[in-house]
A and B are shown apart, each in its own frame.
Chain A
Amino acid sequence: MERTETLAPSGTAHVHAGVRREALHGVATMLPLVLGYVPFALLIGVAAGGSPDPGAAWAGSLLIFGGSAHLSVIEMVGHGSGLAAAVGSGLLINARLAVYSAAMLPLWRGAPLRQRLLAAAAVIDPMWLVSSQREARPGTTEDRRAFYAGAAATLAVGWSTTMGVGVLLGAQHESTGSLGVFTPLCLAAIVAPHLRNPAGARCVAAAGAVAAVSSSWPSGTGLLAAMAAGATAGTWSPRQVAS
């Protein structure tokens, strides 16, 4: 082994060092994003802690691994919506993951099946963001996959742990009341940037109006209607009418 290192710096040891460096780079890149998601993870954790089955709700942190869909499932089940409505809205929200996954295909083309199955479990907005940033920099496919692994592990551990803290907070009813105000604030942080482009503004306006009107509708159908309205208004173009 020592001889290989001495005579062939580009051998196994060198490759392993490069992979380790890339994995650590993935960790370092993901850490600030994980910190950015702390309020949202805490919020979902608090919602999970206050739900009828906190253990099941927390398990979604890794099983669903998507904040918006997870929060939607907790809220809809917690408020007595039907199972079909909760599952339907959760899957509809997460349908965008197919787009991210398809976009990451060049990174995983030709990878062993086990690697692709593991990598798929971590596909989510911030993973797509950091891996597309890494794609723009030089390096081998192995480097990029190691980077992805480091970033994915950091996100999974940080997300799940923070949500666990939120579950503990949510179980204490005194603190839940004061944290309740952070729900709209976290969601405002997610929604507001979309107002900067016309399609996003149309989507938010339509979804908000439908959500307000349909708040008394049964079994979470209001959420589905708001999603449909947002999707329709966002993809609708005024030019289509003009032409």
Chain B
Amino acid sequence: MTMWLAVLLVGLGSYLLRVVPLLLGERLRLPDRVDAALGHAAVGAMTALLVTGVERTATDAGPDTVALGLALAVSGAIGLLGRSMPVVVLCGGATYGVALGVIGLCPS
């Protein structure tokens, strides 16, 4: 029930955010600074989800965490070059798989 409420409320609010400028026309103008701040807030949210996602996946200092760290480093570097999401995810996923395999072969 909470999920339905949340989805409906965010859906309704998001639609209002989309439709109001198209209906009110030129009477609505956001200052450049507010415009930039909203863009940065969205990036901040993605960064926070990334950090919490890493914390949830890497629960200890085991092979999974090392492999994930390497995968993120590779994905980040490729993402920094401006490659598309499938390329970034494929390279990161491949790095994760290879790293897990190599770590598994190493004597403990």
Residues of A within 8 A of B (CB): 35-40, 51-53, 56-57, 59-60, 63-66, 68-77, 83, 86-87, 89-102, 104-105, 108-109, 116-117, 119-121, 123, 180-196, 199-200, 203-204, 206-208, 210-212, 215, 222-223, 226-235
Contact = CB atoms under 8 A, between A and B. Distances in A.
A100 B22 CA distance: 10
Contacts of A232: 37
23 contacts: A56-B7, A57-B7, A59-B4, A63-B10, A83-B6, A83-B9, A92-B41, A94-B10, A99-B35, A99-B38, A101-B17, A108-B22, A119-B22, A120-B15, A184-B57, A185-B75, A187-B46, A192-B76, A199-B40, A203-B47, A222-B52, A223-B48, A234-B43
A81 to B, nearest CB: 9
Contacts of B14: 64-66, 69, 90-91, 94, 97
Contact of A63 (B11, B35, B47, B89): B11
Given A76-B6, A185-B92, A188-B72, 8 more contacts: A77-B6, A83-B6, A94-B10, A94-B14, A98-B20, A116-B23, A196-B80, A234-B40
B88 to A, nearest CB: 4
B10 A184 contact: no
Which residue among A74, A116, A181, A223 has the maximum number of chain B CB atoms within 10 Å of its CB?
Answer: A181
Contacts of B93: 181-182, 185
A63 B8 contact: yes
A104 B22 contact: yes
Given A102-B30, A189-B79, A227 B41 contact: yes
Contacts of A207: 43-45, 47-48
Nearest to B49: A187
Interface of B: 1-11, 13-15, 17-23, 25-26, 28-30, 33, 35-57, 68, 71-72, 75-80, 82-86, 88-89, 92-93, 96
Contacts of A226: 44-45, 47-48, 51
Nearest to B14: A94
A230 B21 contact: no
Contacts of B55: 212, 215
Contact of A64 (B11, B56, B78, B82): B11
B56 to A, nearest CB: 8
Given A184-B72, A190-B85, A222-B48, A105 B40 contact: no
B44 A184 contact: no
A117 B10 CA distance: 17
Contacts of B3: 51-53, 56-57, 73-74, 77
Contact of A223 (B11, B43, B45, B76): B45
A213 B26 CA distance: 42
A104 to B, nearest CB: 7
A56 B4 contact: yes
A204 B79 CA distance: 14
A104 B20 CA distance: 12
Contact of B7 (A35, A60, A184): A60
B86 A39 contact: yes
B49 A223 contact: yes
